[in-house]
Amino acid sequence: MSWKFILYDWGTLNLTLFQAINAGTPATLDPFAWFFSLVGSYWTAPLMLLSLWWWSKSATDPARGHAVRLRLAGFGMAFMLALLAAAVLKLWLDFPRPPAVLGDLVRVIGEIERHYSLPSGHATYSALVVGALWPLVGRRGRIGLMLYAGLVGWSRIAAGMHFPADVLAGWILGLSSTVLAGWLIPLAAPAWQTARRTPALIWYGVAACAVMTDQLSKLAISRMLAYGEQVEVTAFFNFVHVLNPGAAFSFLASASGWQRYFFITLGLTVSAWLVHMLRQRLNRLEAVGYSLILGGALGNVADRVLRGQVVDFLDFHWLHAHWPAFNLADVAITSGAVLLIVKGLNQSKTVDAKPIENYNHSQ
């Protein structure tokens, strides 16, 4: 008798519960399943962060505002821990989703997915939301939070996306990440106070996080997928394992080999300039942009030094058209560039508005 049979299959109870919920959910409840899958998605995390930030700023009681800021920091850290742990578990275990196990017996709402069932990312995220808001709300609010998490879990089973064991694992992962973040934040507080007196340290830390996230994701892909292997995740997105001797999005990938040393030299030169720039007094948006570009550049430089080529694994496609595969370092570089462009556009608007303001004052 294997550990999977006991811990995941629960004998045969996991499958039995799934079939009872999935087949027993009437079609009239499909919109509710869709809605709670939507509000339990990782993609609503920016809205959650923005809401907590606004709550902390609008609180009239300073103690209340401080408590909300602590939950904001805790949610952010727990979210990153849970996202990383969930990605590693999904790739490592690669448990099949219900349609891969039961075929046409599963009633699916949305696109059919066959891989990476454990843990449920939606259940994980709902537990993170519950953990962040639990200390801030009263008894009725806590009942509402429990109902929210329960309905998100139900929606994933009713939609044919996950087994009950996946949902339970997601709840456990989300709550565990919240507890771990609660332990880590007080330990990090002294370092944070020191970093606030030296702003460059904060931005170097952002860059270091980008490098570590990029390298961990590439290590996971290299361990879990054979070279050239492709795994379908959704109808428009695959995980792949390819090596790119060129730059971001396969630029100069077909060159004869000189590009490796050229891009190492270019990456280190740009990184040195970015390190210098981050020592200056910068607007926060500008500093985050430079930090992300620095982290992405160093992530790809590390690949070229250690592997000779860059590991790419994110493959987006539509019909038969594929965007060149890329990685999280490329995402960081692109995101940083977008932030710098936004900063430049905002600055241009401010400069353009000054003559009008001066004209009005002269009247």
Which helix (H) or strand (E) element contains residue 322? Answer: strand 321-322
In this structure, the answer to whether residues 12 and 113 fall within a common structural domain is yes
Does 252 score more than 80 pLDDT? no
In this structure, the answer to whether residues 126 and 55 fall within a common structural domain is yes
Instruction: Indicate which residue of 166, 214, 315, 330 is catalytic.
Output: 330
In this structure, the answer to whether residues 174 and 239 fall within a common structural domain is no
Question: Which range of residues forms the domain containing residue 19?
Answer: 1-197
Q: State how far the Cα of 105 lies from the Cα of 158, in Å rounded to an integer.
A: 13
Last residue of a domain, one of 160, 176, 197: 197
pLDDT digits (tens, 9 = 90+) for 206-218: 899 899 889 988 9
Last residue of a domain, one of 178, 197, 216: 197
- Region 59-77: what's the mean pLDDT? 91
In this structure, the answer to whether residues 241 and 113 fall within a common structural domain is no
Provide the number of structural domains found in the chain. Answer: 2
Residue 315 annotated in active site: no
Instruction: Indicate which residue of 214, 303, 312, 315 is catalytic.
Output: 312
Q: Which of 22-36, 88-102, 164-178 has the lowest mean pLDDT?
A: 88-102
CATH number of the domain encompassing residue 26: 1.20.144
Residue 312 annotated in active site: yes
Give me the torsion for CA of 289, 294, 300, 306, rounded to 10°: -160
Q: State how far the Cα of 118 lies from the Cα of 148, in Å rounded to an integer.
A: 20
Q: Which of 48-52, 84-88, 192-196, 199-203 has the lowest mean pLDDT?
A: 192-196
- Region 267-294: what's the mean pLDDT? 91
Last residue of a domain, one of 154, 174, 197: 197
In this structure, the answer to whether residues 208 and 66 fall within a common structural domain is no
In this structure, the answer to whether residues 159 and 237 fall within a common structural domain is no
Which pLDDT value is given to residue 349? Answer: 64
In this structure, the answer to whether residues 162 and 28 fall within a common structural domain is yes
CB of 324 within 8 A of CB of 334?
A: no
